[in-house]
Structure 1
């Protein structure tokens, strides 16, 4: 590089050789020698060398501190995931040489791909083009993009034949997720629900944020917990029995509630503090040794608060699904008949079964404390008879 100056050295995944030294249970002399030599070479550059060294990593917390000292990698540039405008620009670039049908709306696609990076969006365009080619289409349609997006976000369809009993359970489970999402304030909009097995799931309910989120309110997190509990609670309310299908839902619920209590100061009993697990002296890169920086008494309070949040959400979800049982039954029926429902079809069912006003209230409400206030969907139905029935 010095002989070819001016030049740029780019080191991708620098954490492979630049991981913090002395943090591994096993020695790796070759890696440490490589790191030491890299440090020596970087010290050999000066402002007259005309050599710029750039490195990239997804794990900056695990880098050796010697790499980050002034004169080495002392300037850090965070490359965040693109917002919807950035995604739209990326989609435009990757689709330049792809014949698009008139119905393709890149703005809508950009808003539907929250969290995706450039490589994901390039893959989306490629998958949509492949689908169009397999169907002998001259142009890639919006339907091709939507199908490709489902494959990427939800997983590929599995040729799994479910029994009638299993299909009924999955229909109510996913219907519960969807209905709670439709009637819960601060929830991301429900855009699709399906009982077609995808990836490792027997069914999927898809939520698509209206805008990119960079901050999360207590109400939004509580809504996330309610949505996740909708599946198991629907099984209980409609079928009178429960299954193992909610394992992943419970993992999400527990993780969100625990972070609300231990990291984000959203528990009055625990207070405005943020706890974390102690770092492992051997792991590095964010690994922990399993111990905590709080007492056993505090740990007990944390567990109680996590259970209190989850139980409050469960009680609200149960009220909603019991109150709007007819709507739940109808969604489950339509899922068994059609396998998938989009946002418009779900809204039509909600309107036809008398839950439309509650859904509208949920979308407009600015409730501040779900664990204490009555759920708007329940409040909207106080003067209405409780819906009932079964499939």
Structure 2
């Protein structure tokens, strides 16, 4: 593998040039500047200045006389004149009360002059230069020093510093089970060698952000009680060509010296993206780094106890050579937790705070479907902050419920100025959602309705909470969801005979479900079980792209529109049949601003 050489001159070249310039300036330029400040005068002028009392101080040397005197403007200046044979000079100076002295020059040795005028400035400048360059290197991550280019900047944790075990990881039972073999191998490698089994060289942790991939890697190291190397993929790539490959070599060299150990590379997709021949000069810095990583993973034996763990949320972009057996042998999914997992995660984080005795973690877990471990940790922290805000010494259930709403919709905008007419419209809009949901057979129960605006931009919202965990969605449930989204707009049309911009998010969510029904779920009679769309970045939002012709795309739009219109008509029909309840519930919500699901169902019944 070729590494391009940098054509620029080394830093020491410029360093030497600056030192030479400074020494020349010290030898020639500085004396010239100082010399211009002393004005030469003739001896007669010197005598006249003594008689007039302008001279203040005189220094008599062998060949010249230096003195300070007042000029015509009354300012003191330095002057110099030649020395003549004048026996009366001392008497003149004494009579004029001038301070004078005889200067006998001391001749320094050439060695002393060389040390003072050449070596001392060089030492001072070198010291200051090193301090200055050191600070620049600190801000640039050490890039300025050629001796540190190949260092990996890896963080090494010993057992006492990680302090993480599998007990600190909740909601990822399958992932922990898959990694348990690695822990067992690092504890008892001999029993694997006896049967001829080889432990996986590497394990790739894949999943959405915030699900605990880094925590799992630290827990493996904590359980194994071995050193833990941690580095981000972005730290390998530098502006200098070849530095990433050098850092990979340094990382594996350190790991083999401290084996058995665990090396964790976070965000490996930064350097592990699939190589392609498109474009000019495909042998770029990232490709060199990836090639070196592949070489290093082939070059060490897993039996020595070096295990590579890596994490990514974009596994589809990784190079195939990185995923083949013998490199990352095992792929460990770290998915979003289910209902039981969310409850366990809440309990783990709840141990770090003071809680009331009647906390119901199951209710919070049911209200946070789709939340990651990081989201749930944030909910516990938000609940603690709210408890402190209201002067409590422990967290109560209402703190956690409000924290869920803060994470989902943002903080309450209590000072927002909304007219009574708009409030009434918002109340009917939210009751429209809730009423349509309650009158359908496949909708989740209504948990809470509010018309208090939030910092996320929502002027109000209706929260529905499933009674249990659902991993599949039927066609009937999808249609009921779309109809529920249409309930807000339908209520505005029925009561006010107009429409507002408040349904923008409802329209967006309903369209996403309807399009997925047609293109991915096979829930359309027109297209049946035909794949029309492919999902990209499933762990980062799941953006989809059509894989059909323009003519078929037009038919897809027609089918999506047909589904949405049918659901809108169903929502309108439900509200027309329950118009009296719609008015009663809207007036009650307008008065209370926030009502629970129980209050809603009581009035509806």
> Shared fold (TM-score greater than 0.5)?
yes
Counterpart for residue 418 of structure 2 = 162
> What displacement does 1:28 show?
9.6
Question: Greater share of strand residues, 1 or 2?
Answer: 2
| Distance in structure 1 (CA, Å) of the matches to 2:538 and 2:387 | 46
Change (3 A) 1:99 1:47: closer
CA drift at 1:115: 1.8
> Secondary structure of 1:18's partner?
coil
- What does residue 3 of structure 1 align with? 257
Cα offset for 1:247?
Answer: 1.4
| Cα offset, 1:112, TM superposition | 2.3
**Residue in 2 that maps onto 1:336:** 590
Q: Distance in 2 between matches of 1:135 and 1:23?
A: 61
Aligned to 1:171: 427
Matched residues in 2 for 1:350 and 1:225: separation? 22
1:110 and 2:365 correspond: yes
Give 2:327's match in structure 1, choosing from 66, 72, 89: 72
Q: Distance in 1 between matches of 2:600 and 2:283?
A: 57
Instruction: Please report how far the alpha carbon of residue 237 of structure 1 lies from its aligned counterpart in structure 2 after TM superposition.
Output: 0.8
> In the alignment, is residue 305 of structure 1 matched against residue 562 of structure 2?
no
Instruction: Quote the offset at 1:303 in angstroms.
Output: 2.1
Q: Which has the larger radius of gyration?
A: 2
Shift of 1:293: 3.0
Q: What is the CA distance between 1:292 and its match in structure 2? A: 4.1
Asked if 2 retains the 8 angstrom alpha-carbon contact of 1:62 and 1:285, the reply is no
Structure 2: how far apart are the matches of 1:152 and 1:23?
44
TM-score by length of 2: 0.54
Unpaired segments of 5 or more residues in structure 2? 1-254
Q: Find the aligned partners of 2:534 and 2:338 in 1 and give their Cα distance.
A: 31
Deviation at 1:180, TM superposition (A): 0.9
Question: What is the distance in 2 between the residues matched to 1:256 and 1:285?
Answer: 18
1:85 corresponding residue in structure 2? 340
8 A Cα contact 2:313 2:540, kept in partner: no
Tell me the SS of whatever aligns to 2:332: coil
Is residue 2:493 matched to residue 1:236? yes
Question: C-alpha root-mean-square deviation of aligned residues, in Å?
Answer: 2.7
Is 1:196 aligned to residue 452 of structure 2?
A: yes
CA-CA distance at 1:17 after TM superposition: 2.0
Between 1 and 2, higher relative CO (CA 8 Å, sep ≥ 6) is seen in 1
Secondary structure (helix, strand or coil) at the match of 2:532 reads coil
Q: Give me the whole-angstrom Cα distance separating, in 2, the residues matched to 1:102 and 1:291.
A: 49
Aligned 8 A contact 2:262 2:309 in 1: yes
After TM superposition, give the deviation of residue 340 of structure 1 in Å. Answer: 1.1
Cα deviation code 1:263-317 (max 9, x no counterpart): 11111111221112598xxx99999999743234433332222122111111110
Residues 178/267 of structure 1: CA separation in 2 closer, same or farther (3 Å cut) = same
Q: How many pairs are equivalent?
A: 348
Partner secondary structure for residue 188 of structure 1: coil
Q: Is the 8 A contact 2:533 2:544 kept in 1?
A: no
- Looking at structure 1, the residues matched to 543 and 347 of structure 2 have their Cα atoms a distance apart, in angstroms, of 46
| Stretch of structure 1 that moved more, 131-140 or 297-306 | 297-306
Post-superposition Cα deviations, 1:193-219, rounded to whole Å, max 9, x if no partner, equal: 111111121111111122222111101
CA contact (8 A) 1:278 1:293 kept: no
Counterpart of 2:469 in structure 1 is: 212
